[in-house]
Amino acid sequence: MSQNHVLSLKAIELIYLASLLSALAFLFIAKALRHIAISGNSPLLVFGPVFTAIIAVILLGENMTLVQAAGIILIVIGAYLLESHAHQNILEPFKHILRIKHTNHIFLGLFLYALCSVINKKIIGAPIDGGMGVPVFTFIALIHFFIGVNFVLMMLFFHDGFKGIERGLKNNWKWLLLAGVLALGYRLAQHYAISLPGVLVSLAIPIKRLSALFATLLGGELFHEKHILRRSLACTVMIIGAVLILL
């Protein structure tokens, strides 16, 4: 990695595109999180590696093995287990997942995140892998600046603008600061990993989704949600699928 790396206009354009996709993806998933129980929401996030793997194969030419394909099948089975308890028809759980408005928001957000991950790999990936080699710290600084601009613009046009931002900071600044520090930490680790030579984005992202099991268990317990054991089993199956994608 060059210490005197000069950003090209194309790199800046791709970073902004990635920031826009990331902002929209976060918005869709956050809207869903407001209306769906966290122990039901979190396991569905494990579908992220499926979208990433497929898009990486199409756009980056990464290879998918039979074991990784089996991982995708396990993730689908886990999703079935997640919704199967309340239905008699064998296909009804899949129909139930697809027709819930806010579940569709999750899938749309995951698709956008997958596109963003592929673009990020192109931006910070090593030149030997066809990447642009943009330094991770430079990338993180720029993309977070652009994401901030995107959200300010969205609040100005679609919400209550700076008043809402001021009210949110005043009432929840401690939680926002904690979330920001944690998000910055995991993003630095994630992007440093995919910037390394030979690391495939389709195999790095599944590790990130191991958090789904903890969110299902801890979130379900914290908010006294029902069917925690079944949902945890479904989440475990989906995580096994994500691990197979990693192999």
Would you state the pLDDT for residue 123?
92
Range of the domain at 47: 9-246
In a domain, 165, yes or no: yes
Instruction: Tally the domains of the chain.
Output: 1
Q: What rounded mean pLDDT belongs to the chain?
A: 77
Instruction: For residue range 190-214, list pLDDT tens digits in order.
Output: 777 777 776 666 556 655 665 666 6
**pLDDT band for position 1 (cuts 50, 70, 90):** very low
In a domain, 3, yes or no: no
In a domain, 201, yes or no: yes
Give the span between the Cα atoms of 20 and 15, in whole angstroms: 9
Query: Which of 98-107, 120-129, 155-164 has the weakest average pLDDT?
Result: 155-164
Claim: this prediction has a pTM higher than 0.85: no
Find the mean pLDDT for residues 232-239.
78
For helices 9-35 and 101-124, angle between their N-to-C axes, nearest 10 degrees: 160
Residue where the block lists tokens 């579908």: 47
Find the mean pLDDT for residues 220-243.
72
The Cβ of residue 161 has, within 10 Å, a number of other Cβ atoms equal to 13
Task: Tell the burial category of 105 from Cβ atoms under 10 Å away from its Cβ (0-12, 13-18, 19+).
Answer: buried
In a domain, 36, yes or no: yes
In a domain, 129, yes or no: yes
Q: Which residue has the higher pLDDT, 179 or 112?
A: 112
Instruction: From 183, 210, 234, select the one nearest 40 (Cα to Cα).
Output: 234
In a domain, 105, yes or no: yes
Would you state the pLDDT for residue 2?
43
Two structure tokens written together for 63:
């290879």
In a domain, 1, yes or no: no
Instruction: For residue range 127-171, list pLDDT tens digits in order.
Output: 887 889 899 889 999 998 999 899 888 888 777 666 766 776 777
In a domain, 2, yes or no: no
Determine which helix (DSSP H) or strand (DSSP E) holds 11, and give its type and residue range: helix 9-35
Would you state the pLDDT for residue 44?
73
